[in-house]
Amino acid sequence: PDRLGDMPSAIWWAAAMLAKIGGDEIAPATTLGRIIAAITVMLGIGCFALPVAILGRGFYEEIRRRDFVVTFAMVARVPLFSHLEAGSIADLVSLLRARTVPGGTTIIRQGDRGDAMYFIASGAVEVASASGKVRLGEGDFFGEMALLSQEPRSATVTAVGATDLLILDAEDFLRLVDRLPDVGTRVRAVAQGRMDATMHA
Ligand code: CMP
């Protein structure tokens, strides 16, 4: 009572204990006191953890909002898939992930291992390799070469402005090529053309 006689000094003591900035000279002496203090400390930490969790959740939601929903129409607009029947397009809708990247984002770095290929739903990217720069736009795809050849990425690809991408993971791509051979043939033809262009540049 002589040290923690009123509410303000008790509150200050509790805050100082929790923040570890003081309070060592006053500590619970009895077992019951220590149990109560331990519970109080846990609750105190909870008071801090709760707003942190709420804030963290807010950030997470905000970031997730940048990932738009892949729709049937979006996939059907990609020239590589536009000739497919509805069932195959519907399958692709569930395989493709969507991501919006701001301008200047490096999507693929030359020399990295390839783990996915990308379709441009809207926006544009710049492909930079030793042989120069090429711009790809809506409906184009990139990142297929490393998946087909199992070689490292042949170029660095950067978003020109805000760009909506549809992402196909490597294993889904290889399965797709197995199931739809003419998609595979077209992708291989484009990859071959790019390889030739790079070699002749
Ligand atoms: P990948 O090698 O997996 O990663 C870089 C990508 O850039 C590559 O696949 C192609 O999709 C793309 N790319 C490389 N060279 C060219 C080129 N000459 N023209 C257009 N795209 C290219």
pLDDT, mean of residues 109-123: 96
| Token pair 């519970």 in the structure block, residue | 39
144 CA to centre of ligand 1 in angstroms = 7
State the average pLDDT for the chain: 90
How far apart CA 184 and CA 174 sit, in angstroms, is: 9
Give the position, in ligand 1's atom list, of the atom nearest the Cα of 146: 3
pLDDT score recorded for residue 24: 62
Give the position, in ligand 1's atom list, of the atom nearest the Cα of 151: 2
- pTM beyond 0.85: the answer is no
Ligand 1 binding pocket includes 107 (Cβ within 6 Å):
no
Q: Going by DSSP bridges, is the β-strand pair 132-136/141-142 parallel, antiparallel, or unpaired?
A: unpaired
Q: Which residue has the higher pLDDT, 36 or 127?
A: 127
pLDDT score recorded for residue 64: 67
Cβ partners under 8 Å of residue 180, min gap 6: 84, 88
